[in-house]
């Protein structure tokens, strides 16, 4: 028991689609359970998020073939917040208050997640968030099924520092300008300094969403890497800005042997739209790759291809995170015997489901999961070859111990009514979380 606990002692797919989605509106009986899907189908983030919408339709279809949940079929309600962060909040409210969804699966950027948090708190609904993020958060109404920094960013830096990873000495933190990269870079900068990296060996650069003119920035990376020390780029570039970034790396002859790039937001889906021949050897850190070789993943890929009708459509890490979140929600609803938010939240802590890499995803009291960490090299076919992996599953840390202000901070939602998202074990008090950067 943590300090917080002690202190607080028919087989078809139902899909209601909005304008811009890819299927017609269908009428359903009142005995379906509605599930919200909140992903950008247009704008700068559509390159990444559209696949997650398709993934949710696939998962709901699979569950309906099994008989649904609590004897009812599931009905997906899909909206398009169009890569517009305030619109995410409006669409979340629409899903919960107007459409009456039992839970919402969605968001990608931390800006979109931060936008919807007040809505989920006010209306007491559940968001399953399927993307790696910066941590520094633990909310009653959110289940974080992607990686926290200790499950992606920190292990990636450790790998690059090792002899196996190239014994990197100089670091470029190249980022899109919003909350996830800024907070992740705050953690990474402190971590690098704690490891003895001099401030002058750390370069941090931010560009806006959708940035396309990378010539000057890539030239600056090359100049920074010419100081005689092994240099790497840690990339938190998000969305469609990745396509011209990697293209400019190739144009300027920046190879993985010279200056390797490790990305936290580039997976198989993003690479599918690029010429990867010049990107071979660059890296990504995730908790899942399509190339993972085991029966569970092979079955998932086979069923995904059958559903989507295209054998060339890839899978990726956020898809697996959505898969884990959906399966955990189904299990929690069945355990609770209801879709009531507080009952489901009480049931979900401690539940486990198999992941697609051969381990187990367990919901921790801080609403994060246990996950493996994989480092993969880009191959010419747009897939990743795993070059390093943790021996077991790593528990997600909501509050990074790298930051001095977070030492001794825990989160525990074992009881959703009396839990705390930021509990100071030194003072035995539940604190208000600091505002996002």
Backbone angles phi, psi at 263, to 5 degrees: -110, 150
Look at residue 318 in the predicted model and tell me its pLDDT. Answer: 95
DSSP 94: I
pLDDT at 22 over 70: no
Structure tokens belonging to residue 427: 């003072």
Residue 21 in this model has a pLDDT that exceeds 50: no
For the segment 287-297, the average pLDDT, to the nearest whole number, is: 97
Q: What is the pLDDT of residue 315?
A: 96
* Angle between helix 153-161 and 179-194 (nearest 10): 40
CB 54 within 8 A of CB 94: no
231-249 pLDDT, tens digit per residue, is 999 999 998 899 899 999 9
- Determine whether domain 2-147+293-371 maps to CATH 3.40.50.2300: yes
d(C-alpha 14, C-alpha 35), whole Å: 10
Please say if the pLDDT value at position 5 is more than 60: no
Strand order in the sheet with 409-412: 409-412, 420-424, 429-430
pLDDT score recorded for residue 269: 85
Neighbour tally for 308: CB within 10 Å: 15
Provide the pLDDT for residue 156. Answer: 97
Is the confidence at residue 407, as pLDDT, over 90?
Answer: yes
Report the run of H or E that residue 180 belongs to, with start and end. helix 179-194
**Is residue 177 predicted with pLDDT exceeding 70?**
yes
Q: What pLDDT digit, counting tens, does each position of 310-351 carry?
A: 999 999 999 999 999 999 999 999 999 999 999 999 999 999
Q: Are 424 and 408 in contact (CB under 8 A)?
A: yes
Predicted confidence (pLDDT) at residue 105 exceeds the cutoff of 50: yes
Closest CA to 146 of 110, 119, 114, 93: 110
Nearest-angstrom CA–CA distance, 143 and 128? 5
State the Cα–Cα distance between residues 9 and 53, nearest whole angstrom: 39
| Mean local confidence (pLDDT), 60-65 | 98
pTM higher than 0.75, yes or no?
A: yes
Q: Is the pLDDT of residue 411 over 80?
A: yes
Same fold, 2-147+293-371 and 150-292+374-395: yes
* CA–CA gap between residue 292 and residue 157 (Å, rounded): 22
Domain boundaries, the chain: 2-147+293-371, 150-292+374-395
Span 289-314, average pLDDT: 97
- Top pLDDT among 30 and 188 is at 188
Superfamily holding 150-292+374-395: Response regulator (3.40.50.2300)
Closest CA to 243 of 39, 48, 41: 48
Q: What distance in Å separates the CA atoms of residue 213 and residue 234, rounded to the nearest whole number? A: 19
């Amino acid at each position: 028991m943590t300090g917080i606990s002690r202190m607080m002692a028919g087989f078809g797919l139902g899909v209601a689609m909005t304008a811009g989605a890819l299927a017609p509106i269908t009428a359903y009986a009142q005995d379906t359970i509605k599930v919200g899907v909140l992903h950008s189908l247009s704008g700068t983030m559509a390159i990444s998020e559209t696949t997650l919408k398709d993934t949710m339709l696939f998962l709901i279809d699979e569950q309906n073939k099994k008989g649904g949940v609590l004897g009812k079929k599931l009905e997906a309600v899909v909206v398009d917040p169009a890569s517009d962060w305030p619109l995410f909040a409006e669409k979340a409210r629409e899903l919960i208050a107007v459409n009456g969804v039992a839970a919402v699966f969605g968001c990608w950027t931390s800006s979109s997640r931060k936008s919807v948090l007040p809505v989920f708190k006010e209306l007491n609904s559940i968001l399953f968030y399927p993307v790696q993020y910066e941590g520094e958060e633990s909310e009653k109404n959110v289940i974080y099924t992607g990686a926290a920094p200790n499950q992606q960013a920190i292990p990636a830096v450790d790998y690059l520092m090792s002899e196996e990873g190239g014994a990197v000495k100089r670091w470029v933190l190249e980022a899109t300008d919003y909350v996830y990269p800024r907070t992740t870079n705050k953690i990474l900068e402190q971590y690098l300094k704690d490891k003895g990296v001099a401030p002058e060996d750390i370069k941090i650069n931010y560009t806006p969403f959708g940035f396309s003119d990378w010539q000057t920035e890539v030239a600056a990376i090359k100049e920074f890497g010419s100081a005689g020390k092994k240099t790497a780029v840690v990339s938190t570039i998000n969305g469609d800005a990745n396509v011209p970034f990697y293209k400019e790396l190739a144009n300027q002859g920046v190879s993985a042997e010279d200056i390797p790039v490790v990305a936290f937001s580039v997976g198989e889906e993003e690479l599918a739209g690029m010429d990867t021949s010049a990107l071979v050897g660059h890296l990504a850190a995730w908790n899942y790759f399509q190339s993972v070789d085991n029966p569970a993943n092979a079955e998932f890929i086979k069923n995904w291809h059958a559903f989507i009708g295209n054998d060339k459509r890839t899978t990726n890490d956020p898809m697996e995170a959505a898969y884990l979140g959906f399966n955990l929600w189904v299990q929690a609803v069945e355990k609770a015997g209801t879709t009531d938010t507080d009952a489901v939240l009480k049931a979900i802590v401690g539940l486990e489901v198999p992941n697609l890499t051969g381990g187990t995803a367990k919901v921790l009291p801080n609403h994060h999961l246990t996950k493996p960490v994989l480092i993969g090299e880009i191959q010419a076919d747009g897939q990743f070859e795993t070059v390093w992996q943790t021996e077991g599953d790593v528990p997600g840390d909501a509050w990074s111990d790298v930051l001095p202000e977070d030492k001794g901070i825990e989160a525990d939602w074992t009881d959703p009514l009396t839990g705390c998202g930021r509990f100071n074990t030194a003072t035995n008090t539940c604190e208000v979380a600091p505002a996002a950067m």
